[in-house]
């Protein structure tokens, strides 16, 4: 997609399933199941949608997905289906892993940073060998001291090798990654969760990551049970979606199983409505 002077690509890394109750928190199942049907194990279908932003200054990849380092038992639990070769993540758009200059990780949960490293000759190395990897320092620190509720979402082997390889860049707060591409701390999902904002030639966009994981989560109170600070998530969504609707931002969802990008509008009743782009992605 042409976006000002940028080129945008979505790469669907995998599909998987998580418990619907966890994905929608306190929202009653009769409500969320209308927009996100559950299977017989109460799981809803999700995807990992990576965003590649090609700018005049370099290429930025947002998120890395689940990766391929999962046991058969774990794959069955999540009904995980990898959709690409992790040694050639960008093959579908004619690029190689070494063409990426920067990788931005919204937070260090396994479904966002699991693809950051690959195993070669018994060693974990960066999947994107020329890239610097950007994460929040507060998120990094928390991942090693997470309490019993939070620690199951973190796997240190997904990101510790980045530090060992000298490619990890820990930022402390809002920061510009490349001209026109920046990260902003939102809190909510985790204390240092960040979104990615991109702007070129008057066009604006945002990758919401797990603040708004799917189009079914547009309603501000519909936040995940996984969120560490659900009230903060709700407040951020209300404020940011109003701006996105008013300024016609391009929105990208990390876990939407249907079309993951489009625009949001506010209807006469004051509710946000999703308008997906005319684009198809395989399930």
pLDDT tens-digit series, residues 126-140: 999 999 999 999 999
pLDDT of residue 278: 82
Pair type for strands 250-252 and 261-266: antiparallel
HSE-CB for 255 with a 13 A CA cutoff? 22
pLDDT of residue 281: 47
pLDDT in tens, the chain (283 residues): 999 999 999 999 999 999 999 999 999 999 999 999 999 999 999 999 999 999 999 999 999 999 999 999 999 999 999 999 999 999 999 999 999 999 999 999 999 999 999 999 999 999 999 999 999 999 999 999 999 899 999 999 999 999 999 999 999 999 999 999 999 999 999 999 999 999 999 999 999 999 999 999 999 999 999 999 999 999 999 999 999 999 999 999 999 999 999 999 999 898 999 999 986 643 3
pLDDT of residue 282: 35
pLDDT of residue 106: 98
CA distances 156 to 56, 99, 192, Å, are: 33, 26, 17
pLDDT of residue 29: 98
What's the longest Cα–Cα distance across the chain? 59
**Fold adopted by 2-276:** Metallo-beta-lactamase; Chain A (3.60.15)
Domain ranges of the chain: 2-276
Alpha carbon distance 213, 210 (integer Å): 5
**CB within 8 A of 28, min separation 6: which ones?**
none
Alpha carbon distance 271, 265 (integer Å): 8
């Amino acid at each position: 997609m042409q976006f000002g002077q940028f080129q945008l690509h979505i790469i669907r890394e995998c599909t998987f399933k998580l418990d619907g109750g966890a994905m929608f928190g306190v929202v009653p199942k009769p409500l969320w199941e209308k927009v996100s049907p559950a299977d017989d194990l109460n799981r809803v279908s999700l995807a990992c949608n990576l965003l590649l932003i090609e700018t005049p200054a370099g290429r930025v990849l947002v998120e890395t997905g689940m990766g391929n380092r999962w046991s058969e038992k774990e794959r069955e639990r999540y009904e995980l289906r990898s959709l690409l070769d992790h040694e050639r993540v960008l093959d579908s758009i004619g690029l190689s892993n070494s063409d990426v200059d920067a990788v931005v990780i919204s937070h260090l949960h396994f479904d966002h940073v699991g693809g950051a490293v690959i195993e070669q000759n018994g060693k974990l190395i960066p999947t994107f060998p020329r890239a610097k990897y950007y994460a929040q320092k507060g998120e990094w620190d928390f991942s090693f001291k997470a309490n019993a509720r939070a620690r199951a979402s973190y796997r240190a082997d997904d990101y510790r090798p980045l530090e060992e390889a000298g490619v990890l860049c820990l930022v402390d707060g809002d920061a510009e990654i490349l001209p026109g591409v920046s990260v902003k701390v939102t809190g909510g999902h985790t204390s240092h969760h960040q979104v990615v904002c991109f702007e070129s030639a008057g066009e604006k966009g945002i990758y919401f990551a797990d603040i708004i994981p799917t189009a079914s989560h547009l309603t501000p109170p519909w936040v995940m049970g996984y969120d560490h600070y659900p009230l903060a998530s709700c407040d951020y969504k209300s404020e940011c979606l109003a701006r996105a609707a008013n300024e016609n931002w391009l929105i990208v969802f990390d876990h939407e199983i249907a079309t993951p990008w489009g625009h949001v509008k506010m209807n006469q009743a004051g509710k946000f409505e999703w308008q997906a782009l005319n684009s198809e992605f395989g399930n």
